[in-house]
């Protein structure tokens, strides 16, 4: 009887642990998540994924994913053509357990991966908070902006907020946007051709396939999406997690962190 009870308890504990994992089944996504001690399972392909905080076991079953992890206990890569960067081990005195069972995978420690993950997660939280505030304010006067989920990268509608964050979720048409001082500029959609006045604000580009110009001095520029072409006049720092992004700046000496595959940051000639 005791053995049966122990076995049942073990099964329930395993089920609870499984329920606590973060599972990515989709493809071609740009996602930012906080681990908060959970395990991570990546079954999808061609994703650009960032996990901040402490992760338990990160398992990559899919192919051609780019994964940046701030803190990790174990890494298991069974798929092929994946790039996995980790910053710190869950146990400071030891390196994480690493199993590379696939082919053409790259697994490497990168301090910049941790900084980029933390920066991306912070920018995502700020953007989500601003969108939620805007939705609540609009609902109070009978306007439905539609639900926007920054962390999941999906949107049930479109809208623009201008309180603390200038969040661009528009239709991709060309135009110029001026953010007020103290606001963050967040671009969540793709296929935009726009010009922005930075006015000293931070920038977060989470969408892909954009052609963006930022005039004036920018603060921290974080690029999470892929296949973006971004021209900056100047910036305090530039962090690139997305793949195949091309960023140029005209002046200054920003601190630069590049994690994404085949992304570049260069001073304009």
Give pLDDT, residue 4: 43
Q: Which tokens go with 145?
A: 């902006």
Q: What is the number of other CB atoms lying within 10 angstroms of the CB of residue 213? A: 15
What pLDDT, on a 0 to 100 scale, did the predictor assign at position 209? 87
The confidence score (pLDDT) of residue 119 equals 58
Residue-by-residue pLDDT tens, the chain, 269 positions: 444 444 444 443 333 444 478 999 988 887 888 888 999 999 999 888 888 889 999 999 999 988 888 899 999 999 999 988 888 898 887 889 999 999 998 888 876 655 555 555 555 445 445 445 544 544 554 444 344 343 443 333 333 333 344 444 444 444 556 555 567 888 877 788 999 999 899 998 887 888 999 999 999 998 888 889 999 999 999 988 888 899 999 999 999 888 878 889 999 99
Supply the pLDDT for residue 262. Answer: 86
Residue pair 52/37 in contact (Cβ under 8 Å)? The answer is no
pTM score of the predicted model: 0.46
Q: Which is nearest to 66 in space by CA: 58, 74, 55?
A: 58
The DSSP call for residue 92 is T
Number of Cβ atoms within 10 Å of the Cβ of 90:
18
Predicted pLDDT at 18: 43
Burial class for 44, CB neighbours closer than 10 Å (0-12, 13-18, 19+): buried
Identify the pLDDT of residue 172: 42
Cα separations (Å) of 79 from 18, 59, 103, 207?
20, 9, 7, 25
The per-residue pLDDT for 75 is 94
Q: What is the pLDDT of residue 252?
A: 93
pLDDT at 146 (0 to 100): 40
């Amino acid at each position: 009887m005791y053995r049966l009870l122990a076995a049942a308890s073990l099964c329930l504990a395993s089920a609870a642990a499984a329920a606590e994992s973060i599972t990515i089944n989709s493809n071609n996504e740009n996602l930012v998540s906080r681990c908060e001690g959970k395990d991570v399972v990546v079954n999808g392909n061609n994703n650009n994924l960032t996990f901040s905080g402490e992760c338990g076991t990160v398992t990559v079953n899919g192919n051609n994913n780019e994964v940046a992890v701030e803190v990790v206990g174990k890494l298991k890569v069974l798929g092929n053509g994946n790039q996995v960067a980790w910053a710190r081990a869950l146990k400071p005195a030891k390196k994480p357990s690493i199993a590379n069972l696939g082919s053409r995978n790259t697994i490497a420690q990168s301090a910049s991966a941790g900084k980029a993950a933390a920066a991306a997660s912070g920018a995502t939280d700020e953007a989500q908070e601003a969108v939620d505030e805007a939705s609540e304010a609009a609902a109070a006067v009978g306007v439905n902006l539609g639900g926007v989920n920054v962390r999941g990268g999906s949107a049930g509608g479109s809208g623009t907020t201008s309180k603390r964050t200038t969040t661009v979720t528009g239709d991709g048409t060309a135009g110029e946007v001026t953010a007020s001082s103290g606001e963050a500029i967040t671009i969540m959609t793709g296929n935009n051709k726009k010009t922005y006045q930075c006015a000293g604000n931070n920038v977060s580009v989470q969408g892909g396939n954009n052609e963006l110009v930022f005039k004036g001095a920018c603060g921290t520029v974080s690029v999470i999406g892929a296949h973006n072409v971004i021209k900056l006049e100047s910036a305090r720092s530039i962090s690139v997690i997305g793949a195949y992004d091309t960023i140029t700046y005209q002046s200054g000496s920003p601190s630069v962190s590049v994690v994404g595959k085949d992304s570049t940051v260069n001073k304009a000639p």
